[in-house]
Amino acid sequence: MSTPPAYPFRSRREIHSGEPKVYSDAHLEEQASTTEPTPAPDRGKQPEEAEALDPDKTPVRGTRLTRQPSDVLTFDDVTDAPQPSRGQARRHRRSAGAKLRDGASETTGMRSRRLAAERRAARKRKRRARIRSFLVLFLVLGLVSGAGYLAYTQLVSSSATSSDDFPGPGSGSVEVTIDEEATGRQIGQTLVDAGVVKSVGAFVRQFETNRAAMSIRPGTYRLKLQMSASAALAALLDETNRVDSTITIGSGQTLSEVKARIVSIMGVAESEVNAAFADTEAIGLPSEAGGNAEGWLLPGSYEVSEDDTPTTVIARMVAGTVQELDRLGVAPSDRETVLIKASIVDGEMNIDKYMPMVARVIDNRLADTEGETKGLLGMDSTVLYGVGKTSGVPDQADLDNDNPYNTRLHAGLPPTPIGQPSEKAIKAVLNPAEGTWLYFVTVNLDTGETLFASTLEEQEQNRQKFVEYCAANPKVCSAS
């Protein structure tokens, strides 16, 4: 049995002193070179079997522990090995740190992700908190600014109102004409020029804050001088302050009726009105009218201002008719004929659906020169116009009156229109209904029911129905 090499004993103090002491095995190596040691066999095994075993896997004597692998450094290897350089030490530390990080990443991955998520959530909460703070600050600043601006405008408005508006309800009287389609500022300027309000701005402020201001009607109003803007606006909205300065022409009204209306509204003499109609050039009456304005005055309402004269008002009426005829495509040479026929349609019928049929009867009777009618219109409306009447039923004296408008005695059309025709009547004349009718009669005065006939025999049957209606309704027929 060989004796294991003997190493000098080293105390714990020497081991941990930090100054390793190097021992020499030279004398042992020298002895081993002369004497060949015999290895001790393992317990329970033959020497040759023990020699075949791996020394690293052979248990340490007296224990179950195996020796460390040959690549594991022993204490002597550490103490005897040369010290590494600084660069090698740094590289070693980096390598060791990388291994530690790799290991840590595997063991602490979940924790790292959780921490990262918590950090992101915290950042989002902080960001939202900053946004909320900014919005709250912005809102507060907006409210403060708005309140300040409102207070400023109220102050400015109050001071402006006191300086550009009259304080009281006004005094005296003045007539002011508001033009059609005038804006609030234009109305304000008109009131300033008339001395009603102090400034346009004061009136415009009241006009824009009152929704009813848009309903101010054009026309002439009697107002006070030096009124406050609010009082002036209220006066314009009060119809009792409106001066009657509107000339209204209805469909079917005659020239004499229009003249009387002009005299009444404008407060002028009848002779002045007649002189205005006589000046056909001044009123713009076309030559085809033959100097007679009957039928050439467009129905409607006409506002009369202080600057108007009978001539200016009549000129507007005539111009309206010319424009309407041009719009409907009536040639100048046909204007008078169309107006005559349309005035008869208006005189005979006031129900829209029958107007084109009446227009057809007029054309058929004018063309029936060799037939039953002999070209005679036989219209009651023309007979009444010839004797100066505007309504009712002509009596025998009226029917026997020989005048150019008595279409029972004279064939063809009357010399002029018998009134101011409506647009519906003009359209009916331009587009008459299709039919062979020569006669018509209203058989019910309550409903206006009218029956049309192509022969005199059929007409007599329809007339009998009217007689029966009058027998059942004597008061209605007598009133007509």
pLDDT at 129: 79
Together in a domain, 359 and 235: no
pLDDT tens digit sequence for 277-314: 999 999 999 999 999 999 999 998 898 888 899 999 99
Residue 204 belongs to domain with CATH number: 3.30.1490.480
Same domain, 359 and 392: yes
Instruction: Provide the angle, in degrees to the nearest 10, between the axes of the packed helices 200-209 and 184-193.
Output: 140
Q: What is the pTM of this model?
A: 0.55
430: its two tokens: 């331009």
Task: For residues 360-383, give the mean pLDDT.
Answer: 95
Place of tokens 């009618």: 373
Which H or E run includes 87? helix 86-107
- The H-or-E segment that residue 175 falls in is strand 171-178
Residue 2 within a domain: no
Query: Interior CA angle at 221 toward 246 and 224, to 5°?
Result: 160
Distance from C-alpha of 454 to C-alpha of 344, rounded to nearest angstrom: 20
Q: Which residues contact 289 (CB under 8 A, 6 or more apart)?
A: 280, 295, 296, 335, 336
Nearest to residue 229, comparing CAs of 172, 189, 273? 189
Nearest alpha-carbon partner for 185 in 237, 144, 229, 130: 229
Same domain, 416 and 305: no
Residue 256 located in a structural domain: yes
Residue 121 included in any domain: no
User: Does 347 reside within a domain?
Assistant: yes
Give Cβ neighbours of residue 19 (< 8 Å, ≥ 6 apart).
none
Q: Does the residue 355 lie in any domain?
A: yes
- Burial of residue 366, with CB atoms counted within 10 A of its CB: 0-12 exposed, 13-18 middle, 19 or more buried: middle
Count of structural domains, the chain: 3
Q: How far apart are the C-alpha atoms of 445 and 395, rounded to whole Å?
A: 19
Full domain range(s) for residue 206? 171-241
**Given 328, 363, 383, which residue is the final one in a domain?**
328
Question: Are 322 and 340 in a shared domain?
Answer: no
| Strands annotated E in 194-335 | 219-225, 242-243, 246-249, 300-303
In this structure, the answer to whether residues 444 and 360 fall within a common structural domain is yes
> Which among 98-107, 140-149, 164-173 has the top mean pLDDT?
164-173
| Strand ranges (E), 353-448 | 439-444
Q: Quick check: is 57 in a domain?
A: no
Claim to verify: residue 296 and residue 365 sit in the same structural domain = no
Average confidence score pLDDT of the chain: 82
Residue 433 gets the label, from left (phi > 0), alpha (psi -120 to 50) or beta, of: beta
Percent of the chain with pLDDT over 70: 72
- Is the same domain home to 456 and 377? yes
In tens, the pLDDT along 320-346 reads 999 999 999 999 999 999 999 999 999
Residues 307 and 187 both lie in one domain: no
- By mean pLDDT, which of 26-40, 165-179, 365-379, 418-432 is the weakest? 26-40
Do residue 347 and residue 308 come from a single domain? no
How does pLDDT run across 460-475, given as a tens digit for each residue?
999 999 999 999 988 7
Q: pLDDT tens-digit profile of 390-430?
A: 887 889 999 999 999 999 999 999 999 999 999 999 999 99
Q: How confident is the model at residue 8 (pLDDT cuts 50, 70, 90)?
A: low
Same domain for 181 and 312, yes or no, is no
Query: Which domain-ending residue is among 279, 310, 328?
Result: 328
Q: Which of 328, 358, 386 is the last residue of a domain?
A: 328
Q: Does residue 265 lie within any of the structural domains? A: yes
Q: Are residues 223 and 188 in the same domain?
A: yes
Q: How far lies 92's CA from each of 77, 85, 251, 351, in Å?
A: 18, 10, 118, 117
Same domain, 232 and 301: no
> If you search the block for the tokens 């005296």, which residue do you land on?
172
Q: Does residue 106 fall inside a structural domain?
A: no
